[in-house]
Structure formats: structure tokens, C-alpha cells
Amino acid sequence: MNANTNSQPERKIKMQKKSFFNSGREDSPFKRILIHATLWIACLISIYPITRILSVALRPGNRLLSADLAIIPIGATLESFRIVFFEKPFLSWIWNSLTITVATAIIGVILAATSAYAFSRYKFPGRSVGLIFLLTTQMIPAVMLLVPIYILAIKLGLVGTYRGLVVAYAVTAIPFSIWILKGYYDTIPIDLEEAARIDGCSELQAFMKILLPLSTPALAIVFLFNFTTAWNDYLLARIMLGSKEDLLTWPLGLQRLQGQFVTQWGQFSAASILVAIPVMILFLYTSKYLISGLTLGSVKG
């Protein structure tokens, strides 16, 4: 269970060590086919609903529903995409979302990295209380907080600006980020930092030069987590930005495509696809970090 008290180089080897199903190469062909088939079916189920959205986006006219099951429907057209791109302020929604999200992620990572450092490397009164407090914040039904937050925001003059929203997102993501990062820091032996201190570095320098570079995977996760929190959020953005048409983020923008009775489903779907793509790419790119990071941090409990 204490596989991770080894020093750095050994640990790297363990990361690359193949799992016990090494026998992948020794599996019977039948078993292999079975496994691949299962995985293919799982993948199909995974992506099918999304392809259906694509169909609606490509379908001519504004048809949400149709008996046509083909992924590329009859008479497929890029009209909806064209309208969304050029005639709706879609690009401005994406741009707004992007700026807010990146700002959130950066601030969030910095806040979490420093706070997790405090929890991991220091023993101070209130430490365990703090950690439990962080955990319990995850349990508050968010609905409860909307109205008082809005009132506070009005009082502080933050409605209709990004200031409140960005910090709100960043702080929202903090508890989970701190838990992940702290766990990760805990697996990195303190000897390295102590060695650096002896050599004359200040605490902060040791933190930045030794610990941070070693925690890149966890930092990547926290970045991703902050990103998705801010990118996908609707309710907070609605109360903070809801009345400022030119500051809308994409969830608010997408809602504009839904009328009281009539919804432009073609455009809504086209916009949905376009919105999902950047996130998917980001996810896929960082997914390799996700796997190594999430485990090493938590194995130590």
C-alpha cells in the first residue's frame, strides 16, 4: 500500500510499469476479440447521442424531430452552422466565455496551489477543520445561494461585469482543487524541499522551484477543473451577466436561441456542437495527465 514512499526515479518506473494484465499479448484471440468488441460497443453508446445532435444541426428546416435516423440526414446542409457563425453573435459568446474561463482557471490554479501547499506542508491549528469544511462546501445545494449572492453582488456593484463572475468561479472550484493538490503534494517527499532550504532557498522559492514543477499533472487537473466549471456554468452567469447582451457567455447565448414557443433547433444544435468541440479537445489533450495525476494524489489517502 505504500508503494509511493519511494524516491522519485523509482516512482517514475512504477508509473510506466504495465499492469498485471500484461498477459494482453498472451490472451487468446477469442478473448481479445471479445474485449475489443465490448469496447467498441461502449464507444458507440458513448458517442451516439452526440452524433444525433449533429444530425439535427445538419438537417434542413428547423426540425428537432424526424423519423430519419441517419447521422448525415437527407439534404444535409451547413446552413445552421453558417447562421450561427455569421448571423448570431456566437463568436462573441465563445470569446466571452473563453476570456472568463481562462482568467478563472489561472486565478483558480494559483489560489489552490498556494492554499494546498499550506495544508500539505504545515501543521497549524484548524487544519483538519479546514479540510472538512472544504468537503462540506461541496454539499450545499447551490440553489440556496443564488439569491443572496445576487443581492450581495448588486450591493457591491458587481452585476454586469466580469469581476465578480471570475472570482466566483475560481473560489467555487477551490475546495475540490485543494483536496486534489494537497493529496498530490502529500505524495512528494518533503526531503527535496528541505534540501533546497538548507541550500539557502526561502520557503517560497522551494515551493516554486521544487514542488510546483513536480506537480504538473495535478496542476493540469486543477486547471481543467476550473476551466470546465467556468465554461459550462449557466446559473451564476445568468444572475451576474443576464442583462448585458454584449457580455454573454455561451450558455446564456444558447438560451437566447430558445423562444417561448419556437426554438431554432437547427441553430441550437449547431451551436451546441461548436461549443462542445473546444472542451472535448482540451479534455482529450489533458486526459493523459488526468490519469496519472488523479491516482498518485489520492493513493496516500
Site for another protein in 83-142 (CB under 8 A): 86, 88-89, 91-92, 95-96, 99-100, 103, 107, 111-112, 114-115, 117-119, 122, 124-125, 128, 130-142
155 binds another protein (CB under 8 A): yes
Instruction: Looking at residues 20 to 59 of the shown chain, list those that interact with another protein (rule: CB under 8 A).
Output: 20-25, 27, 32, 35-36, 38-39, 42-43, 45-50, 52-53, 56
The b/e string for 35-71 (b: 16+ C-beta within 10 A; e otherwise) is eeeeeeeeeeeeeeeeeebbbbbbbeeeeeeeeeeee
Taking the CA atoms of 196, 202, 203 and 208 in sequence, report the sign of the dihedral they define: negative
Residues 6+ apart with CB under 8 A from 166: 100, 103, 104, 107, 230
Q: What is the smallest separation between the CB atom of 213 and another protein, expressed in angstroms?
A: 18
74 binds another protein (CB under 8 A): no
Residues 6+ apart with CB under 8 A from 190: 121
Q: What is the smallest separation between the CB atom of 216 and another protein, expressed in angstroms?
A: 16
Q: Contact 253/271 with Cβ under 8 angstroms?
A: yes
8 binds another protein (CB under 8 A): no
Count the site residues for another protein by CB under 8 A.
Answer: 158
Rounded-to-integer distance, Cα 93 and Cα 275, Å: 10
Instruction: Looking at residues 261 to 300 of the shown chain, list those that interact with another protein (rule: CB under 8 A).
Output: 261-265, 272, 275-276, 279-280, 282-284, 287, 290-296, 298-300
**What residues form DSSP beta bridges with 258?**
263
234 binds another protein (CB under 8 A): yes
77 binds another protein (CB under 8 A): no
Please say which residue, 18 or 191, places its beta carbon nearer to another protein. 18
For residue 79, give Cα distances in angstroms to 82, 166, 245, 256. 5, 34, 24, 19
80 binds another protein (CB under 8 A): no
x/- mask, another protein, residues 192-231, rule CB under 8 A, reads: -----------x---------------------x--xx-x
Q: What is the smallest separation between the CB atom of 52 and another protein, expressed in angstroms?
A: 6
Taking the CA atoms of 274, 279, 281 and 284 in sequence, report the sign of the dihedral they define: negative
Q: What is the smallest separation between the CB atom of 273 and another protein, expressed in angstroms?
A: 9
The rounded radius of gyration (Å) of the Cα atoms in the chain is 24
70 binds another protein (CB under 8 A): no
Which of 77, 79, 159, 189 touches another protein (CB under 8 A)? 159
Backbone phi and psi for residue 258, each to the nearest 5 degrees, phi listed first? -105, 115
Q: What is the smallest separation between the CB atom of 188 and another protein, expressed in angstroms?
A: 15
Report CA 214 to chain centroid distance, whole Å.
21
Instruction: Looking at residues 166 to 185 of the shown chain, list those that interact with another protein (rule: CB under 8 A).
Output: 166-176, 178-179
Q: DSSP assignment, residue 123?
A: -
